[in-house]
Structure 1
């Protein structure tokens, strides 16, 4: 049986994609080889036909250390009806971490020592990513392949700052401007792109996950402020670089979708009027402006109002997670329509089973109504993984536990259904309600 989430989302998309494609104006599209997805105005196309989809995030796929578990996960994703999977093509470690990485079977691609790194293309390195790509090909799935992480997890971009620039007096945004760091990052990008650029399983290259002026550890500097265009300049440089390596695959930024508005939204908190971080340019992004870049083929954005507004989301408050999300969807749909480029809700999630059941149909329906029939919840989960007896610590707090993939509370599909005891009858009711929402 298909999952609670994906069967419902697939039904919604299948019913409405034709309307979305009919409404959008076509522009000159790039000619690509058979099996490669491309853009045509606000829409995606595959072999000359419209390509609308429900997708899935599964960053942990290359961290699995058995081919059986990779294939099993791909089978579950395929059976759910999802067509596009977003996963990480990065994990960097310091040389001092090598012994523990070897002992635990951790997948790693870069090893840092001094001001340089070496690539690991062995069986515990890029060969695992090789198998993820080949398994996607075998199961008819497409991959959004992400080059790096704004955050510290899995060798984020601050490793480049620490090793090349030095952490003393450094700010997070140095990554986006320092020539030596940019050259090193481009060397890694080239390693990944040239390895997989002939594969039709690659849906798109993604420059970095959730770029911001600030990170987990280092703060923003004075050169990354609203209006500085620090991130836009970096997006431009890196998308042009990737296009010079690969003329056929699509490219996207990977940002959360923050705006730089002339009149940013505000809200009341603790007796004061607060300028909204998601609209005032402080994050460094300018979603609408970044879409002007010619080698960013489509736009993606993320949506986590519970996490972003904890000071507002509490019992008895007037803040509505659902209503805020509807506005966020509308804002991005308007910007993408103006740029005449496709749009994906690339990550979204709420915690709490009832929240998922109540809110997701509303969000997805509104996304479809505003003309972008592409949604990718965070994150896909499976049961039945077998490596190391179904139990293995990966890194940080991530683990395979009793055969279940990592679960951060926003995990869906078989994991949600079994862990929370959702019955087959409840699945049918949810699906019927979603279909009735047309």
Structure 2
């Protein structure tokens, strides 16, 4: 009897030692909830990929003040910004933030005042405002230098997107950059978590190949190897995938369109993720998922359809809450959006209330007004720009003058704060 209790006692002692060894101010996980210094940590957070692209401290400060006013406790932003060497002269002239410069089959690091020093400043400023930071290491998409740059420069033209997850040369290059970022900030209590990739899929701006298909486990294997690698560099900070939360369910899930049954990409494994299995990985501490049904199902979002954005989104939230409960880990509704203020005002209350009732954390796309650099107007890159003092808006940003939606998230932040005691 006594001997049979030994493994249990050893596990309890090991857990207690591990918890004690985590530095003060680091966010941890206890079962299905986040904790901060031993207390529950529920929160509303903000997405702001553009924050490190700002060039003045005044505008950075104003953005954090806006977040603090809503009650934001966590910021998610890009830990990457990469350019081709041919873009260097233009980037230098325009003041574009960049951390990597690609030339030939390799990249060089920019840790100067137009490079990682801007990210240093964002993280330091977040710390002063009591806001934790989730950093993503790269992008599934070409924007701001994601996986496609690794593929094009290392593997070469004609390759499919999924070679990013399997080519040893690409993995080595990715890990070299990851190590640079982790080593730079691993002692910072401002870091909430490391994110392996924003929205990893079998396909990106390049198509998927035959080796990344439902059941291949390509992404699952990559998630495991990279989360294990990050854990070897940093024993304390949380790690997550950054995925959209696609499922790989064996039973058919789909919809009828013009008399034909369409298998649903979000459930059939075609994207490459297996949310249920990915949540079980030892060094994936919590799950993430995104929610854009209006744009994922444009063929169904019509006046004569019984499909509704609101109800589909509610079902997606419930599916991830259930999967997280089975895994015994927290989950974050990391990105979500609909177009149009009327849609936001009508749909967001149900989604937010459902997420809060499921003990989710949620991240919103927050917008800021009153930015002053270059007179409040500056083209950054692509279509991203400051316009009349307003931060870049992809159609999902929430601004303070959108009172009903702004108040919804302010209320949600108060509810989360009340649970964090």
Q: Is 1:51 equivalent to 2:37 in the alignment?
A: no
Of 305, 309, 318, which aligns to 2:306?
A: 318
User: Distance between the aligned counterparts of 1:174 and 1:430, measured in 2?
Assistant: 40
2:186 is aligned to 197
Q: Is 1:336 equivalent to 2:336 in the alignment?
A: no
- How far did residue 269 of structure 1 move? 1.2
1:254 is aligned to 242
2:150 is aligned to 160
User: Distance between the aligned counterparts of 2:292 and 2:225, measured in 1?
Assistant: 28
CA RMSD in angstroms comes to 2.0
User: Distance between the aligned counterparts of 1:58 and 1:431, measured in 2?
Assistant: 17
Give the unaligned 5+ runs of structure 1: 1-26
- Which structure 1 residue ranges, 4+ long, deviate > 4 Å from structure 2? 27-30, 426-435
Of 112, 115, 121, which aligns to 1:125?
A: 115
User: Distance between the aligned counterparts of 1:137 and 1:179, measured in 2?
Assistant: 36
Structure-2 change in CA distance of 1:429 and 1:213 (3 Å):
closer
Question: SS of the residue aligned with 2:202?
Answer: coil
Structure-2 change in CA distance of 1:100 and 1:135 (3 Å):
same
In 2, are the aligned partners of 1:252 and 1:297 still within 8 Å (CA)? yes
Structure-2 change in CA distance of 1:290 and 1:383 (3 Å):
same
Q: Is 1:308 equivalent to 2:325 in the alignment?
A: no
User: Distance between the aligned counterparts of 1:124 and 1:97, measured in 2?
Assistant: 14
Question: SS of the residue aligned with 2:338?
Answer: coil
User: Distance between the aligned counterparts of 1:411 and 1:294, measured in 2?
Assistant: 34
2:398 is aligned to 412
Structure-2 change in CA distance of 1:227 and 1:432 (3 Å):
closer
- Count of residue pairs brought into register by the alignment: 399
Q: Is 1:398 equivalent to 2:384 in the alignment?
A: yes
Of 341, 345, 356, which aligns to 1:357?
A: 345
User: Distance between the aligned counterparts of 1:154 and 1:53, measured in 2?
Assistant: 28
Question: SS of the residue aligned with 2:244?
Answer: coil
- How far did residue 62 of structure 1 move? 0.5
User: Distance between the aligned counterparts of 2:399 and 2:338, measured in 1?
Assistant: 14
Q: Deviations over 1:17-75 (max 9, x none)?
A: xxxxxxxxxx9574211100000000000000000001110110101111111111011
Matches within 5 A, 1:7-406: 28=15, 30-31=18-19, 32-168=22-158, 170-216=159-205, 218-370=206-358, 372-377=359-364, 379-406=365-392
- How far did residue 314 of structure 1 move? 1.8
In 2, are the aligned partners of 1:89 and 1:145 still within 8 Å (CA)? yes
Q: Deviations over 1:175-226 (max 9, x none)?
A: 000000000000000010111111111000000000000012x111111000
Structure-2 change in CA distance of 1:237 and 1:94 (3 Å):
same
Structure-2 change in CA distance of 1:433 and 1:84 (3 Å):
closer
- Give the alignment's TM-score, normalised by structure 1: 0.88
User: Distance between the aligned counterparts of 2:377 and 2:220, measured in 1?
Assistant: 42
Give the unaligned 5+ runs of structure 2: 1-13, 415-421
User: Distance between the aligned counterparts of 1:55 and 1:433, measured in 2?
Assistant: 10
User: Distance between the aligned counterparts of 1:340 and 1:432, measured in 2?
Assistant: 27
- Give the alignment's TM-score, normalised by structure 2: 0.91
Structure-2 change in CA distance of 1:95 and 1:430 (3 Å):
closer
User: Distance between the aligned counterparts of 2:313 and 2:395, measured in 1?
Assistant: 18
User: Distance between the aligned counterparts of 2:397 and 2:15, measured in 1?
Assistant: 38
